[in-house]
Amino acid sequence: VYKKPGKLNTHWKSATPKGWKRNTITVALQHRAKRISTNLDEDVKSIKHSFIKCRYPAKFVQSVIERERERERERERERERER
């Protein structure tokens, strides 16, 4: 997925609330990776790397990614039950 040069994520030490930082990762996953990705695993790695580069704790980033993947699996199960 193409990422505009110079587009930086909020730095971890910024005065932004933690919930906003969590949502920034979630939105990046939902928009960039899931909707327009041709290689989901590679794009998730890229997203993870870009947030770690902005000093987000790796454990925090990984937990948000795992939580979002679990939510996606749950949505898939719900869609299967509706069929």
Take residue 45 and report the two structure tokens written for it. 């790695």
Comparing CA positions, the residue from 14, 25, 39, 4 lying closest to residue 69 is 25
Question: Helix (H) and strand (E) counts for the chain?
Answer: 3, 0
Predicted TM-score (pTM) of this structure: 0.79
Q: What pLDDT is stored for residue 10 in this prediction?
A: 81
pLDDT higher than threshold 70 for residue 7: no
Q: pLDDT band for position 1 (50/70/90)?
A: low
What digits encode the pLDDT tens for the residues 21-74?
Answer: 999 899 888 877 667 777 888 888 988 998 999 999 999 999 999 999 899 889
Q: What pLDDT is stored for residue 19 in this prediction?
A: 92
Residue 64, burial from CB neighbour count under 10 angstroms (0-12, 13-18, 19+): buried
